[in-house]
Amino acid sequence: MIPQTIQDKLKKQKLIFDGAFGTYYAQLYDTKELPELANTLHPERVRRIHEEYMEAGAQMIRTNTFASNTVSLDLPWDAVEDNIRQGYRLAAEAAQERECYVAADIGQIPYENQSDRTDISREYVEICRVFLEEGAKIFVFETFSNPEDICEAIEFIGDRAFVIVQFSVNQFGYSNSGLSARKLAQRAESMEGVDAVGFNCGVGPGHMQQILKNITFSGKKWLTALPNAGYPQIVKNRMIFDNRNIDYFAAKVSDIAADGADIVGGCCGTTPEYICRIREKLSFAQPRKAASVSVKHTEKAPVQDTSFFAGKAGKKLIAVELAPPLGRDDEKLMDAAHLLLKSGVDVLTFPDSPSGRTRADSILMAEKVARETGMYVMPHICCRDKNAIAMRSQLLGAYINHIRNFLVITGDPIPSMMRSSIKSVFNFDSVGLMRIMNDMNEEHFAEAPICYGGAINQGRRNLEVEIQRVKKKMEAGASFFLTQPISTAEGAGRVRRIKQETGARILCGIMPFVSLKNAVFMKNEMTGIDVTEEVLSRYREDMTREEGEQAGIQLAKEMMALTDDFADGYYFSFPFNRVNMLEKIL
């Protein structure tokens, strides 16, 4: 059962967390080691810092385990497990003779690739298992940028403990994953196993107060707020906080509590002196405020549908991919775009440096084509090269330039020979980026939302996994899908099943190979493109250009016939931008 003691306490009064163990430890002991290592190396230091915060007035302390994971400590799991157990025991021993709660502290585990997410989710579960075995009744997940990685861990805890989830956002109210504070709070409030929701780190008390005032909370969860002492200066690679603002900090935190926060405290830069001053200023017996709900009775403007398929119900949609140039010469691409102007094409798409090799920017290329031709354009946006800040910036710029359709993909990895000098970003995968875009539609583009879709890899070994991915993308707002090129009856059958299972709007990929060399290259060099021996047998080495194109046209027609019963349209990718073939195919 959820410990009623803390619930009953919160019904009567506010609670004060401790301050930032990590920055205070670094201030006292210039070891240049992670503070969590002190759990086993210097336990007396850890116990003493806990005692200082409680003596200052903290009614709840966090274990010194924020970075106790295999990635941050760079230790094997057995050593990390021992570190976690030691960290919890030290806090419990320090609080034993005092009326103070102990919270098992869990920070975000850093990772670079989305493929690591499963392992990371499992490690959160294992961390929670260890804490539960040590007797933890309160958990605090803090400084998270989104809740997706800890869903499994929170479900694992269930009703065995009181769970607090805290996010970190910048001054403008956005996390490193690009999600707004409002969206993060809504997501956490909807999670059954979460008892308290709030924010910590990232900003000082003034900005945190502004951010909280712009969110309407349901009132179903307790609210927490643990701002930083302020904004640090970097001196000799160390974060230095100016502690001359203690009175200001305490006053602002007291105001945040008066505004409705149930649990307050401090994050980076907050020492026991900060907590002591909060204790002096805070009015503990403030009644809990009901959730504020503002209702505006204003007439809403009709939502504009700017999708490339608006008003085209029943029509087989046609998308054509134009690959941006590798250099500065875009003459061939522009010629192709103008050639397609009167072809009945519904949208032109522009890949985003596919295969991790630099091409002209997809959004800028799309903007030029749209400006010169007036056609619908759809740049691809991949998650490989940019973080959430850059992604949002790109989307805002594209919107201002009247680009409203996007294909969202996770992206191909950087070629191995370039990885020593060029690093992938991959802050999130395509589903994560779609959630950001959905958030931006609500916040910035409500009157004319952007339209975005995803890719389907029907060649995935486990088709069930791909079907679930499509469903997740649809839940994140994807309104259409483009498949990998189909070149066999089996591939068509797999896409047909995806359509039946999801009901998604699907444009089937069609790639008319133009020569044997072209087909062999695609078979061996490009992932996700299935080129069978039967397809290769259609081509000869001595074919003329016209014969090669004719073989490709015939292949395209056969694939369209195989998919005609379920396809909502077709997505053509012509080798070398040979779009003149389209007229003969259609």
pLDDT in tens, 525-559: 877 788 888 989 999 999 999 999 999 999 999 99
pLDDT for the residue 414: 47
Listed by start position, the domains of the chain span 4-281, 317-514+555-580
Which distant-in-sequence residues (6+ apart) come within 8 Å of 144 by Cβ?
A: 108, 150, 165, 166, 167, 168, 175
DSSP notation for 238-295: EEE--GGGHHHHHHHHHHHHHHT-SEE---TT--HHHHHHHHHH--TTPPPPPPP---
Q: CA-to-CA distance for 363 and 365, rounded, in angstroms?
A: 5
Structure tokens at 2: 């959820």
Percent of the chain beyond pLDDT 90? 71
Helix (H, G, I), strand (E, B) or coil at 511: coil
Average pLDDT over residues 122-131: 97
First to last CA, the chain: 65
Please give, one letter per residue, the 3-state secondary structure of 189-247: HCCCCCCEEEEECCCCHHHHHHHHHCCCCCCCCEEEEECCCCCCEEECCEEECCHHHHH
Q: Regarding beta strands 60-62 and 263-264, do their DSSP bridges make them parallel or antiparallel, or are they unpaired?
A: unpaired
User: What's the one-letter identity of residue 235?
Assistant: V
- pLDDT higher than 50, residue 249: yes
In the chain, the largest separation of any two C-alpha atoms, in whole Å, equals 89
> Which of 238-242, 305-309, 383-387 shows the lowest per-residue confidence on average (mean pLDDT)?
238-242
Q: How far apart, in Å, are the Cα atoms of 411 and each of 127, 430, 509, 542? A: 31, 8, 17, 36
Tokens 């307050």 appear where?
264
Q: CA-to-CA distance for 553 and 571, rounded, in angstroms?
A: 14
Q: CA-to-CA distance for 134 and 86, rounded, in angstroms?
A: 10
Angle at 433 between CA 141 and CA 311, to 5 degrees: 140
Q: How far apart, in Å, are the Cα atoms of 386 and each of 181, 403, 426, 440? A: 21, 19, 7, 17
Q: For 18, phi and psi rounded to 5 degrees? A: -80, -170
Decide if 157 contacts 139 (C-beta within 8 A).
yes
User: What's the one-letter identity of residue 209?
Assistant: Q
- pLDDT higher than 70, residue 300: no
Q: How far apart, in Å, are the Cα atoms of 130 and each of 35, 65, 539? A: 20, 12, 61
Is the model more confident about 203 or about 241?
A: 203
Average pLDDT over residues 437-458: 92
For residue range 145-200, what is the model confidence (pLDDT) as tens digits?
989 899 999 999 999 999 999 999 988 888 887 788 998 999 999 999 999 999 99
CATH number of 317-514+555-580: 3.20.20.220
Q: For 16, phi and psi rounded to 5 degrees? A: -110, 125
Is the model more confident about 555 or about 239?
A: 555
Domains 4-281 and 317-514+555-580 share a fold: yes
- pLDDT higher than 80, residue 417: no
- What secondary structure letter does DSSP report for 572? E
Decide if 126 contacts 84 (C-beta within 8 A).
no
E-strand ranges in 411-545 read 451-456, 481-485, 506-510
Q: How far apart, in Å, are the Cα atoms of 528 and each of 304, 384, 484? A: 35, 17, 7
Tell whether the torsion through CA atoms of 308, 310, 312 and 313 is positive or negative. Answer: positive
Q: How many CB atoms lie within 10 A of CB 40?
A: 15
User: pLDDT tier at 388 (50, 70, 90 boundaries)?
Assistant: confident
User: Residue 235, exposed/middle/buried by CB under 10 A (0-12, 13-18, 19+)?
Assistant: exposed
Partner residues linked to 101 by β-bridges: 60
Average pLDDT over residues 266-277: 95
Q: CA-to-CA distance for 378 and 236, rounded, in angstroms?
A: 47
pLDDT for the residue 287: 55
- pLDDT higher than 90, residue 85: yes
Q: CA-to-CA distance for 34 and 73, rounded, in angstroms?
A: 8
CATH number of 4-281: 3.20.20.330
Structure tokens at 145: 């940028």
- pLDDT higher than 80, residue 293: no
Structure tokens at 417: 């020979």
pLDDT for the residue 484: 94
Q: For 328, phi and psi rounded to 5 degrees? A: -90, -10
Is the model more confident about 364 or about 242?
A: 364
Q: CA-to-CA distance for 405 and 379, rounded, in angstroms?
A: 7
Angle at 364 between CA 363 and CA 366, to 5 degrees: 65
Please give, one letter per residue, the 3-state secondary structure of 18-35: CCCHHHHHHHHCCCCCCH
Q: How many CA atoms lie within 13 Å of 106's alpha carbon, on the beta-carbon side?
A: 30
Which distant-in-sequence residues (6+ apart) come within 8 Å of 86 by Cβ?
A: 39, 40, 43
For residue range 484-496, what is the model confidence (pLDDT) as tens digits?
999 899 999 999 9
pTM (predicted TM-score): 0.70
For residue range 59-76, what is the model confidence (pLDDT) as tens digits?
999 999 999 999 999 999
Q: CA-to-CA distance for 35 and 51, rounded, in angstroms?
A: 16
- pLDDT higher than 50, residue 322: yes
Decide if 292 contacts 303 (C-beta within 8 A).
no
> Which of 326-335, 381-390, 533-542, 549-558 shows the lowest per-residue confidence on average (mean pLDDT)?
381-390
pLDDT for the residue 2: 39
Q: How far apart, in Å, are the Cα atoms of 285 and each of 10, 250, 259? A: 10, 17, 13
Q: How many CB atoms lie within 10 A of CB 9?
A: 17
pLDDT for the residue 55: 97
